[in-house]
């Protein structure tokens, strides 16, 4: 019925990790996005969204994350007519140096500030909205600590 996709908003040193999706990708190839991927069929399973995202981030950019917190969800239809439910999580950076580990999925990695992202006219509005929401969550967490 739906493709379920998860994405990680990874914040480190006041910047967000974005990837340039590989030109080989069937959806949004060549565009900047958060790191993530599709949830695989597992039958009965727990924490499938979180486990999928942790695995996808490591496979695509070689870093480890933890403490996943829900940011938002949305739905869209791909260029090929696939119906997607997309869930974004704020992730704590744990370790590793981000690089384009999976060339079939990632062409480049970029660390950008919230303002750089919001001011970039080339970036899609949904990416900017996800970053705005994740940034608010980071600020709220800082105010509580």
pLDDT at position 25 is: 57
Alpha-carbon torsion (56, 62, 64, 65), positive or negative: negative
Its domain, for residue 38, covers: 3-144
pLDDT at position 24 is: 63
Domain count, the chain: 1
- CATH number, domain containing residue 105: 3.90.79.10
Strands (E) in the chain, as ranges, are 3-12, 15-21, 32-33, 35-38, 64-77, 83-95, 106-112
pLDDT at position 12 is: 96
At CA 131, angle to CA 12 and CA 62, rounded to 5? 45
For residue 14 the two structure tokens come to 């006041």
Q: Which residues contact 127 (CB under 8 A, 6 or more apart)?
A: 18, 32, 33, 34, 117
pLDDT at position 27 is: 57
Tracing tokens 């949305």 back to the chain, one arrives at 74
In angstroms, rounded to a whole number, what is the distance separating the alpha carbons of residues 32 and 28? 9
DSSP designation for 124: -
Residues in the chain with pLDDT values less than 70: 22-30
């Amino acid at each position: 019925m739906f493709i379920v996709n998860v994405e990680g908003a990874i914040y480190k040193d006041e910047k967000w990790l974005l990837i340039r999706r590989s030109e080989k990708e069937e959806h949004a190839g060549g565009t900047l996005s958060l790191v993530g991927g599709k949830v695989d069929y597992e039958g009965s399973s727990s924490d499938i969204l979180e486990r999928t995202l942790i695995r996808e981030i490591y496979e695509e950019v070689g870093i480890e994350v933890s403490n996943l917190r829900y940011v938002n969800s949305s739905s869209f239809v791909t260029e090929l007519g696939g119906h997607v439910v997309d869930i974004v999580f704020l992730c704590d950076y744990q370790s590793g140096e981000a690089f384009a580990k999976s060339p079939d999925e990632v062409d480049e990695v970029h660390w950008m500030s919230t303002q750089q992202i919001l001011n970039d006219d080339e970036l899609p509005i949904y990416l900017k909205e996800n970053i705005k929401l994740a940034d608010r969550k980071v600020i709220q967490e800082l105010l509580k600590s």
